[in-house]
Homo-oligomer: A and B are copies of this chain.
Amino acid sequence: VTPQRRAIFQALLEDDSAHPTAEEIFDQVQDGMPDMSLATVYNTLHELVDMDLLLELDLGPGGRHYDVNTADHAHLVCMGCGRVEDVDYDPSTVVLSPEHVQDFQIVERMAIFRGYCSVCISQGKGPNGVS
């Protein structure tokens, strides 16, 4: 545990609704630690992921996002502003066909919903607005 790692972890906790990308964490940490290297950010993120303290999310282009909420939950991704929200859902409601479940040992699941948040809809950026 080094000062760099502490700073990165702290940035993640402060930003806990933001699901930041590696780049965003890097920018934020650089404020108080200008010598921080991007490689260190990636190193630390990977270690945290290996320790199951952090979730790595592939939400599409723009880089991978990281989430300190390691509980089983889904994500809403706004196609207007890119914001990501956590959503609780009942995991037991996601049921797969039995023939697949028997053949396949599931380790982790991930549910992503894409759409438009209320802010973007009210700004006309929604599905009916200009794309």
Contact A76 B100 (CB under 8 A): yes
A103 within 8 A of B: yes
Q: How far is the CA of A105 from the CA of B122 in the complex (A)?
A: 11
CB distance from A122 to the nearest CB of B (A): 11
B-facing residues in A100-120 (Cβ within 8 Å): 100, 103-118
Interface-forming stretch among A4-12, A17-25, A88-96? A88-96
Contact A115:B111 (CB < 8 A) given known A58-B58, A60-B58, A100-B85: no
Q: What chain B residues lie within 8 Å of A90 (beta carbons)?
A: 95
Q: Is the CB of B97 within 8 A of A107?
A: no
Task: Produce 1/0 per residue, A42-56, CB < 8 A to B.
Answer: 000000000000000
What's the tally of chain A residues with a CB closer than 8 Å to chain B?
37
- A94–chain B nearest beta-carbon distance, Å: 6
Chain B residues near A109: list those with CB within 8 A. Answer: 111-114
Rounded to whole angstroms, the CA-CA distance of A78 and B104 in the bound complex is 8
CB distance from A42 to the nearest CB of B (A): 13
Q: List 7 A-B contacts (CB under 8 A).
A: A87-B100, A93-B95, A94-B111, A104-B116, A105-B121, A108-B113, A109-B111
